[in-house]
A and B are shown apart, each in its own frame.
Chain A
């Protein structure tokens, strides 16, 4: 008899521990099932705020970049770059490459001189692109085909910005 009662009691305890959380969670939110299951509005607003910090409304165009006039010396072309981050979080630029082209010139490939550059949220960073060239430098050289690779929260984003 005692064993049967104990067995029944333990079974009921197991059932209570399974059903209890449903009742407690729904009761805590005035029986609003959705509110009990999904995260609170405040948490979702905070997440939205952070995600919106990653989104650039006008697109990730070349506007954040100010490229200086290419300088040619000793068969090396160098271009200074000022990058103004449109993102609300700090990022790390790990690679930036571009082509320098000019009329009647075969062109040159330039790459970031620095290994990586840290850019604070909505901040500005300056760095230099360098690369070898041959031939006579053009009179009006222009950077084109800018490719940038940056890292945010350990996730790598590679953006090809096409002809400049």
Chain B
């Protein structure tokens, strides 16, 4: 008698999509992906595509528009995750591919967006801001070094007889690497889903 493995007996599913979808439902609640500090609480930043915390001298600063945007991002990933689970459970159904595609690349693009935002932010702080501020510091100098995504730097501002030195540290959190895993699973789910699609027959017109 031919043995049928447990794996073979399971209904066809997009396993990558199932795991990615489940993690996408959790990801918005896990915490910030990146954090930075100037001094010890002079400025604190923590952000992810779903949440942000900015505090200046321990006083939090918020913006309604950003909060709503991040709420939409949270909803978008959770809906994407739920639809991806649905699409992965019924991969051969006509709606399977559409649902998987809706959620598969969401976290991937969020990672790209966050890294891009951090790089542009550091670039503006390091290169553009000193140029803009140079006119304001008569006889003074400004040397701003903001880490590109991760690292520890020191920025110095000197005006007359006063020199201000601020250590800046920035780092990606463990949650960021969870997000990278979710993004990789999402991409894998999208690729893996192709095996459930019927091959398209190309008929030559007579």
Q: A residues within 8 Å of B by Cβ?
A: 2-3, 6-7, 10, 13-14, 17-18, 20-22, 24-26, 28-29, 35-40, 43, 46-47, 50-51, 54, 60, 89, 152-162
CB < 8 Å: which of A26, A39, A50 contacts B63? A39
Q: Which of B164-193 contact A (CB under 8 A)?
A: 164-167
| A162 cross-chain contacts in B, Cβ below 8 A | 161
Known: A21-B68, A153-B41. A159 touches B62 (CB 8 A): no
| A10 cross-chain contacts in B, Cβ below 8 A | 83, 98-99, 102
CB < 8 Å: which of B59, B64, B163 contacts A47? B59
Known: A50-B56, A153-B42. A159 touches B65 (CB 8 A): no
Interface pair A43/B57, CB less than 8 Å apart: no
Give the shortest distance, in Å, between A158 (CB) and chain B (any CB): 4
Interface pair A158/B162, CB less than 8 Å apart: yes
B39 at the interface (CB under 8 A from A): yes
Q: Give bound CA distance, A16 to B162, whole Å.
A: 51
A-B contact pairs, 24 of them (CB 8 A): A3-B98, A7-B98, A13-B102, A17-B72, A17-B73, A17-B75, A17-B76, A18-B72, A21-B65, A28-B68, A36-B63, A39-B61, A39-B62, A46-B59, A50-B56, A60-B162, A152-B39, A154-B39, A154-B42, A154-B166, A156-B165, A157-B165, A158-B163, A159-B162
| B79 cross-chain contacts in A, Cβ below 8 A | 13, 17
Give the shortest distance, in Å, between A23 (CB) and chain B (any CB): 9
| B166 cross-chain contacts in A, Cβ below 8 A | 154-156
| A35 cross-chain contacts in B, Cβ below 8 A | 64
Residue ID in chain A nearest B74 by CB atoms: A17
Residue ID in chain B nearest A45 by CB atoms: B59
Of A14, A17, A29, A162, the most chain B CB neighbours within 10 A belong to A17
| B56 cross-chain contacts in A, Cβ below 8 A | 47, 50-51
Interface pair B41/A154, CB less than 8 Å apart: yes
What 10 A-B pairs come out closest when comparing CB atoms?
A154-B39, A154-B40, A21-B68, A153-B42, A155-B39, A160-B161, A50-B57, A25-B65, A25-B68, A158-B163
CB < 8 Å: which of B63, B99, B164 contacts A157? B164
